[in-house]
Amino acid sequence: MDPHHEICRAIDAYRDTAVATSHAIHEHPESRFEEVFAAEQLTGAAQALGLAVERGIAGLKTAFRAEFGAHGPSVAIFAEFDALPNGHSCGHNLIAGAALAAVAGLHSIAPHLKGKIVFMGTPAEEGGGGKVILMNRGALKGVDAAMMAHPMDGEWSTMPALATYGVRLKFRGKAAHAAIAPWDGSSALAAMLQTFHAVDSARLHFRDGSRVHGIITNGGQASNIIPELTECQFVTRAFTSKYAKEMAERVIQCARGAAMATGTQVEETVSAGYKNMITNRAVAHRYAEHSKALGTPSPDPPPGLPTGSTDMGDVSHRMIAIHPVFAITSPGEGTCHEDAFVRHADSPRGYDAMIRVAKALAMTAFDLLAEPELLASAKAEFAQSVES
């Protein structure tokens, strides 16, 4: 038996179930930590494959884990399934479907596996850090390598995801009648606006590839009152957490200057976000080889490719990890988080890509268990990347 061939055959045979599951999740978008329907769909499908499923792991009601295989190294395949306020505009239903189909393919040759496959449901990627919680609570103990694949508008074997920091600001001024006695007040909104302008001026000085963006969550109470309280949120992103933190400190400097200029006070809350993604190139190259053999090259991304952030970054600082991206749109047709992407996440092209990616992931996972040299070189690379 050719294991790669058998994995692909089993995934093709499972296609209808994987597509139906992914479509059902797409039709019931659920926000972070509330993905009850999605978790039910996926755990039900895993049980139908004959897997024993642990639900509500690590104290997260929608996280789950099922494992099979033999004693030996362990590879985790992650299913994300949370949606955004505009629906499945990040296509996490396709991540879930690809993971499920990959697991079905690997399960079909379970007696031939030289180690363990862990199918894990990881909630709340969109701002909830589900994987960070799972990892910190020990749910990934004993896992040697983790993988998943994310839909996008391009096909790349790695996603150079950025590290993030969050800054929340609260300005307190003094309320006054905006027409009768504006001189009695100090405007928390003026401080807010100056902060955004100051951050825009600072932008020139941030290193290439970094980002800072924010929203005003409270812009004042009434247009005829000098605003006494305003609030906003910024996110800084950079190639390393260290630099994202430096950028967050610069945002705070801007806010303090604005507070001083407007006679207001500012309260700051800074929080570390996701870490940057350290792609394991040995494993990513193997994934790329399988993808190419399936008819779709998945090259290294070009330098400077615009990218987002993911809690898979945090996982990649603790173990071997890959996070390839697969195209469900062409450039110009919309990308992640845009309204147009919702439709593409439930399209024939999207499901074809999902099944193909499931095969490439499953064959890569199989190889990691079957080829001690591949796992050893991936481990050596990981050790070096964490040291440097």
Judged by CB, which is closer to Zn ion: 90, or 162?
Answer: 90
DSSP 3-state of 130: helix
**Minimum CB distance to Zn ion, residue 90 (Å):** 3
CB of 337 to Zn ion, least distance (A): 8
In the complex, minimum distance from the CB of residue 126 to Zn ion, in angstroms, rounded to a whole number: 7
Nearer to Zn ion, 254 or 354 (CB): 354
Spatial separation of the C-alpha atoms in residues 169 and 200, rounded to whole Å: 16
Integer Cα distance of 258 and 165 in angstroms: 21
- C-beta of residue 134 within 8 angstroms of C-beta of residue 146: no
> Could you tell me if 167 and 252 are in contact, meaning their C-beta atoms sit under 8 angstroms apart?
yes
In angstroms, what is the minimal distance from the CB of 92 to Zn ion? Answer: 6
At its nearest, how many Å lie between Zn ion and the CB of residue 34? Answer: 16
Tell me how far the alpha carbon of residue 51 is from its chain's centroid: 26
AA identity, residue 335 = T
Closest residue to bound Zn ion by CB? 90
Q: What angle do CA 133, 138, 139 make, to 5 degrees?
A: 80
Burial of 288 per CB tally in 10 Å (0-12, 13-18, 19+): buried
List 233's β-bridge partners, or say none. Answer: 168, 215
Residue 127 or 219: the one with the smaller Cβ distance to Zn ion is: 127
How far is the C-alpha of 55 from the C-alpha of 25, rounded, in Å?
A: 18
CB-based burial label for 147 (10 Å; 0-12, 13-18, 19+):
buried
As measured in angstroms, the least distance from the Cβ of 115 to Zn ion is 28
> Quick one: angle between helices 348-370 and 3-27, nearest 10?
140
Per CB under 5 A, residues contacting Zn ion are 90
Query: CA-to-CA distance for 228 and 226, rounded, in angstroms?
Result: 6
* Smallest gap from residue 80 Cβ to Zn ion (A): 7
Nearer to Zn ion by Cβ, of 4 and 32: the residue is 32
